[in-house]
Amino acid sequence: MKTAKLMRSTFYVAVLALLAAFGLVRCEKLENYSINAPSDLQNRIDSIAAEKAKQSTGDTIYVDIATPIIGAEDNSAAWWSAFSDYFTIPSNKRLHLEFVNHSSGINNWNNWNLAVTNEVADRDASGYKEYFVLRSDAYGWGGKMVDEGYAWDAAMISHNYPDTDGNGDIWNDFRITMQGAKVTLEIDHSATGNVFVTATAIGTNGTELEMTYQQPVSAAKDIVAFLVCDGSYFEMKEAYLTPSKITVVEDVAPVSITVAGTPEFVEFGDEDFWGDATATVTYADGSSEQVGAGEISFTVIPDMSTLGKKTVIVSYSKTKQGAYGPAVSTFYTLEVTNPVISLEITTMPNITQYYFFGSDPILFNTKGLVVTATYSDGTTGVVANSTLEFDEIPAVEGSQGAVISYTGATSTVTTTCPVTLVKGIAQVGYNDFSTPWWEEFSEDYAVASGESKTLTMYCYSNNLNNWHSPCTLLRKADKTEYAVVRMDHFGWGSGYDTATLASDWNFDTFASSINGSRVVITVTNKGDNTADVLYNVTYVNGETHFQKYEGITVDSSDLNCALVIEGAYVVIVE
C-alpha cells in the first residue's frame, strides 16, 4: 500500500515537473509535446494549450463569456428581462460575437436583439444611455444618446432576407431560418465616430441572412453592446475584439433638405423669420440629420419691412463629412402682419375635462384648439398653435383657466381656456409623459377564482407610439408573471402562448387618439386556470374600440393584476 502511494506521488511530481518545464504553471508559452499519461490528463493539457493559443493571436483579444446561456431555454423570457454579458468596445476596435439563436417562432422579434450604449456599462447606473436598440427583424429605435446628437436612422438598415417559399411573405421564412441559426454579430466602433453592425445568420436549412446598420457614436469614448432576449434564448459561443476595419468613411453629397416649425406669420418689426424652425438634410446614402440654423444659408431673404406674404429659400451645401459642394434647397412662406392686440378661442380643444391625482401640474392638450388673433388694424386671423405658448394647468379640483400666450415684437397678449379638473383615486406614470418602461406600476389587485376585477381610468399619452398606453400584468402574489398584455394587440409571458386575441383597432389612428381616452380594463379569473383580459376604450371624439385576450394560462388560486405604462400616465377613477 505504501509502495503504491509512493509510486503515485512520484508520478504526479514528474507530471508537475513536466508541466512546469512547458511553462503551463505561468501559461507563458506552449510548444508541441506528448506525454505518457492518462488520457483525461492529456485532454486537459490539450485544452489548456488551446485556450492559451487563443490569447496569442496578435491583434485578437478574446473575451471571457461569463453567461453562456442567455434566457430561459423554453423561450419564455419576456422583453428586457434576460441579457448577455456587457461587451465593451473601445474606439478603433471591432467586437465579434458568435452564438446560436433560439426562438419561440411566434413573432419576428422573438429572436436576438442588440443594444448599443454609451460607456456606462450598467443598465441601472446613473448616466446609462442607449445609442440604439437593433432587432434581428430589421427594426429598431434610438435611445437617449439621440439627444446628444447621435441620431438613429432606420433608413440605414439593410438586409437580404429572401422569400424562400415564394408566397410573397419574407417573414414566415425568416422565422423558420432563425430557429437554431448560427449568428455572427460584428460591431465595429470606427475611430471615424461611427458604429457599423453586420449580422449574419446561417439557418439549419442552409439559408444565410445578412443585415447591416450604421450610425454616429462617440469617436473617443468606449461603447458597450449586449444582447436582449424576447421570447428567445441564446447559446453564446465566442467573443473577441480585433482592430476596426473602417478607418475612412466614404463621403456622400446631400440630395434634399426639408424644414419644419417655420413661423406662419411674424409681426411687423420682428426681423426673425426663422424662429425655432429646424432643417433636415438627406444624403445620397439614405441617411439624414438635423442641421442648425448656423449651418444653412438663406438664398432669398424676405423683406420684413413691409406687410404681406413672403417667401424664404433655404439652402445647404455641405457633404456628410462637412466638405462644401453643390447645394440643395427648399422654400417656405410666411406673412408679415400688424401687431397682435388680443386673442380669442374660436374652437375649444378636444379635451376640456382632465382627471388628475397628486399635486404635479397637468400639460394642456391643444388638439382641436383654434385661436384667432385681432391685429392693430382691426383685421383677424387664425394663429397657429405652434406660435403660441401654453401654461401648465394647476392640479386643483374644479374650474381652471389654462393660460395661452402670444409674444409679439412689442408685447405679449394672453387669453385663457376654461377647463375642469376631476380628482381620481390613483395614478400610474408621470404627468410630463416621461415614464420609462417597467418603472411605474399600480398596486396589485387580487382576482378571486370565478370573479372579475374592473378598473376604469383615463389615459394621457404623448401619442408617439401605440404602446404608450396602459398594459395589464397578470401575476402571482409573489410577483411571478403569467403574462403582460398591452392595449394594442400584443403581449408576452409564460401564460400568453395559450391566449386568443381579438380587437377592432384602426392602427392608422391608434397612437394619435390615445390621449384623453377613457379605458375600462376587466380581468376575469375563469376558475379553470385561465383568465381573460378585456379593454373597452372610448376616444375623446366618442369613437369606441375593444381589445380582448382570452384563455391566458394562470393559477386560478393565485391571480393578481396590475398596471404598467410607458410614455404616458393613467388616472384611475374607479
Is 248 inside any structural domain? no
Domain stop point among 243, 263, 290:
243
Q: Which of 394, 374, 390, 392 is nearest to 382 (CA)?
A: 374
d(CA 87, CA 449): 46
Which pLDDT score, from 0 to 100, does residue 40 have?
Answer: 58
Residues 73 and 212 in one domain: yes
Residue 36 has pLDDT above 70, yes or no: no
| Helices and strands per DSSP (H, E), number in the chain | 4, 39
Which pLDDT score, from 0 to 100, does residue 467 have?
Answer: 94
Residues 202 and 90 in one domain: yes
Which pLDDT score, from 0 to 100, does residue 39 have?
Answer: 52
d(CA 92, CA 248): 11
pTM for the model stands at: 0.65
Domain stop point among 200, 220, 243:
243
Output the nine-digit C-alpha cell for 156. 440605414
Stretch 267-296: mean pLDDT, rounded?
90
Which pLDDT score, from 0 to 100, does residue 68 have?
Answer: 96
Is 540 inside any structural domain? yes
Residue 3 has pLDDT above 90, yes or no: no
Is 271 inside any structural domain? yes
List alpha helices for 55-187, DSSP H. 170-178
Higher pLDDT among residues 322 and 64, named by residue: 64
Which pLDDT score, from 0 to 100, does residue 1 have?
Answer: 40
Residues 124 and 217 in one domain: yes
Stretch 23-46: mean pLDDT, rounded?
45
Which pLDDT score, from 0 to 100, does residue 401 have?
Answer: 94
CB 569 within 8 A of CB 433: yes
d(CA 376, CA 408): 12
pLDDT digits (tens, 9 = 90+) for 505-540: 999 999 999 999 999 999 999 999 999 999 999 999
Furthest CA-CA distance within the chain: 119
pLDDT category, 194, cuts 50, 70, 90? very high
pLDDT category, 9, cuts 50, 70, 90? very low
pLDDT digits (tens, 9 = 90+) for 109-140: 999 999 999 999 899 999 999 999 999 999 99
Is 327 inside any structural domain? yes
Residues 130 and 261 in one domain: no
Residue 52 has pLDDT above 70, yes or no: no
Stretch 183-201: mean pLDDT, rounded?
96
Share of the chain above pLDDT 70, in %: 90
Residues 16 and 140 in one domain: no
Residues 274 and 314 in one domain: yes
Is 249 inside any structural domain? no
- Residue found under cell 381656456: 417
Query: Which secondary-structure segment (H or E) carries 474?
Result: strand 471-475
At 406, which CATH number?
2.60.40.3630
Stretch 345-359: mean pLDDT, rounded?
97
Domain stop point among 372, 397, 423:
423
Residues 376 and 433 in one domain: no
Stretch 186-198: mean pLDDT, rounded?
95
Domain count, the chain: 5
In 179-268, at which residue ranges do the beta strands (DSSP E only) sit? Answer: 181-190, 194-202, 208-216, 223-228, 232-243, 254-260, 265-267
CB 333 within 8 A of CB 310: yes
5-9, 69-73, 388-392, 527-531: range with lowest mean pLDDT: 5-9
Residues 389 and 460 in one domain: no
Which pLDDT score, from 0 to 100, does residue 46 have?
Answer: 55
Pairing of strands 324-337, 265-267: parallel
DSSP state of 373: E
d(CA 411, CA 129): 41
Stretch 240-248: mean pLDDT, rounded?
90
Residues 224 and 97 in one domain: yes
Residues 307 and 359 in one domain: no
Which pLDDT score, from 0 to 100, does residue 57 have?
Answer: 55
Residues 230 and 107 in one domain: yes
Which pLDDT score, from 0 to 100, does residue 51 have?
Answer: 53
CB 189 within 8 A of CB 91: yes
Residues 434 and 527 in one domain: yes
The burial class, CB within 10 Å (0-12 / 13-18 / 19+), for 547 is buried
Helix (H, G, I), strand (E, B) or coil at 256: strand
Residue 32 has pLDDT above 70, yes or no: no
For residue 208, the number of C-alpha atoms closer than 13 Å in the C-beta half-sphere is: 4
At 491, which CATH number?
2.60.120
Chain mean pLDDT for the chain: 90
Is 447 inside any structural domain? yes
Residue 17's domain comprises 2-54
Residue 35 has pLDDT above 70, yes or no: no
At 293, which CATH number?
2.60.40
Pairing of strands 517-525, 500-503: unpaired
Residue 11 has pLDDT above 60, yes or no: no
